[in-house]
């Protein structure tokens, strides 16, 4: 049967129906008046981990206080969606001049019912991307020239033409591809030839992670699935709580040693043994006091990040948390609504909120050094309608990132700009015109920063 999903495109929210998995349609309720808080049913076991009166503001004690960042290092490859298995890269030496070297189109851009949700990955001097038609494309990292292209649509069902999402990961000369067509597959990174393909019960919107000969991926029904990287044979699974609504952009699990940490649409952050799926701990990043129907969406769409023994993750329901990897105890929390992955580095951790705030917080205790609002001065206007009647109100632009490059934070957004902030102070240093909206965080390889736009343009910035 077909799942009838509603895509809330302004912040990439997908409301999932009760059956099937393929059909989607576009709606944007953010221009409508909120009808007030929705009631929770059957969720009495959820306990808020953030005090209701906690305020998000810089700490007076940290005014003028410096902090340490790790030295910038050149990364030779970006093989996984988060850069490495822990999804924590630190500080990259790339994009020194922030000048656009080239831009190349690599396939079908976003259009009704089709979305570019796969972060690019890079290895072997190539970038590997997935367009809105779920075709995997390899391009030369130096020039953007296409090397090969492989379709992932199995072609055995007409309705699957409406599937979307998925992602790519690289390991040991192979690509591992997850798909909205309810498949996980392996491809040869040099030729694009398919090695194996394994059917899954549900569609997959997030990219895989690969570690220790295993492929880890989360499906649309909140199931963490694992596969043998060599053969594609299915291994253990973990079923989280199911939810009726979630974010379109989806998370990739993080792996550190024998521990895998996965984030789900239920707001659960779960750690398990990578070898057998044994449950280690489970934390709900959910606030008990929410003010609108949208805030009832508990999803953790950004990747969880493991850095120096802590897990950093942010939920759509308004919890940004640092959690001890070993014990699962929350070390600190902040009331941040987010849809992208945090970026820990040195003494601090950066996060971008859905409303456009870039926040720099102490990694040790969560106290805030600075906040910069990228949507400052934004005035909503109505689009469409006749003589001022009807139409939809524009929403605040959504920003994605950050990427720490030297002492600059690089953030891209729906405005079609890349913004560079001073990583120590939050001051805006530079704006680069991308000539296209971007909702995927930048990546780096060598001296170059790469950005993917919604129009399926790959932009190289040096």
Cα→Cα distances 187→76, 178, 396, 413, Å: 21, 11, 39, 31
pLDDT at 245: 62
Burial degree of 410 (CB within 10 A; 0-12, 13-18, 19+): buried
Q: Round to whole Å and give the CA distance between 336 and 373.
A: 13
Residue 169: both structure tokens together? 């990961």
Q: Round to whole Å and give the CA distance between 112 and 136.
A: 20
The CATH fold assigned to 4-30+56-378+395-461 is: Methylamine Dehydrogenase; Chain H (2.130.10)
Query: Are 246 and 16 spatial neighbours (Cβ–Cβ below 8 Å)?
Result: yes
pLDDT at 192: 98
pLDDT at 388: 56
Query: Are 70 and 90 spatial neighbours (Cβ–Cβ below 8 Å)?
Result: yes
pLDDT averages per 10-residue partition of the chain, 462 residues: 34 35 31 33 42 80 97 98 98 97 96 87 98 95 98 67 82 96 96 97 93 96 96 97 70 97 94 97 78 67 96 95 97 95 98 97 98 89 59 81 97 97 98 96 98 97 97
Q: Round to whole Å and give the CA distance between 26 and 371.
A: 33
Residue 315: both structure tokens together? 């939920």
pLDDT at 31: 35
The CA angle 142-144-150, to the nearest 5 degrees, is 125
Query: Are 63 and 303 spatial neighbours (Cβ–Cβ below 8 Å)?
Result: no
Specify the pTM. 0.86
Q: Sketch the domain layout of the chain as residue ranges.
A: 4-30+56-378+395-461
Other residues' Cβ atoms within 10 Å of the Cβ of residue 192: 18
CA nearest neighbour of 394 among 405, 408, 385, 381: 381
CA neighbours closer than 13 Å in the CB half-sphere of residue 265: 25
């Amino acid at each position: 049967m077909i799942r009838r999903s509603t895509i809330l495109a302004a912040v990439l929210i997908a409301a999932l129906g009760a059956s099937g998995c393929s059909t989607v349609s576009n709606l944007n309720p953010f221009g409508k008046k909120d009808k007030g808080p929705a009631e929770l049913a059957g969720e009495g076991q959820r306990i808020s981990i953030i005090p209701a009166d906690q305020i998000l503001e810089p700490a007076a004690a940290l005014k003028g206080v410096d902090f340490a960042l790790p030295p910038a290092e050149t990364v030779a490859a970006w093989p996984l969606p988060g850069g490495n298995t822990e999804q924590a890269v630190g500080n990259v030496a790339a994009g020194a001049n922030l000048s656009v070297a080239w831009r190349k189109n690599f396939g079908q851009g976003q259009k009704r019912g089709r979305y570019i949700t796969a972060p690019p990955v890079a290895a072997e001097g190539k970038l590997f991307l997935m367009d809105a038609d779920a075709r995997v494309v390899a391009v030369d990292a130096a020039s953007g020239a296409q090397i090969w292209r492989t379709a992932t649509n199995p072609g055995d069902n007409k309705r699957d033409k409406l599937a979307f999402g998925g992602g790519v990961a690289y390991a040991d000369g192979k690509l591992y591809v997850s798909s909205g067509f309810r498949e996980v597959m392996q491809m040869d990174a040099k030729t694009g030839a398919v090695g194996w393909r394994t059917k899954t019960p549900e569609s997959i919107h997030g990219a895989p992670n690969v570690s220790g000969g295993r492929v880890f991926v989360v499906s649309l029904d909140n199931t963490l699935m694992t596969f043998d990287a060599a053969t594609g044979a299915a291994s253990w699974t973990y079923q989280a709580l199911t939810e009726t609504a979630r974010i379109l952009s989806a998370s990739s699990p993080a792996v550190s040693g024998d521990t895998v940490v996965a984030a789900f649409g239920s707001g659960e952050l779960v750690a398990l043994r990578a070898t057998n799926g044994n449950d280690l701990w489970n934390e709900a990043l959910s606030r008990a006091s929410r003010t609108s129907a949208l805030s009832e969406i508990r999803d953790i769409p950004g990747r969880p990040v493991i850095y120096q023994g802590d897990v950093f993750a942010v939920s759509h329901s308004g919890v940004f948390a640092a959690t001890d990897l070993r014990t699962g105890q929350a070390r600190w929390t902040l009331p941040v609504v987010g849809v992208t992955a945090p970026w820990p580095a040195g003494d601090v951790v950066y996060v971008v909120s859905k409303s456009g705030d870039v926040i720099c917080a102490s990694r040790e205790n969560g106290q805030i050094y600075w906040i910069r609002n990228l949507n400052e001065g934004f005035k909503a206007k109505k689009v469409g309608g006749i003589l001022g009647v009807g139409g939809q109100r524009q929403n605040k632009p959504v920003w994605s990132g950050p990427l720490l490059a030297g002492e600059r934070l690089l953030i891209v957004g729906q405005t079609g700009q890349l913004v560079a902030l001073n990583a120590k102070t939050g001051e805006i240093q530079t704006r680069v015109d991308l000539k296209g909206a971007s909702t995927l965080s930048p990546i780096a390889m060598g001296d170059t920063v790469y950005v993917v736009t919604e129009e399926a343009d790959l932009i190289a910035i040096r």
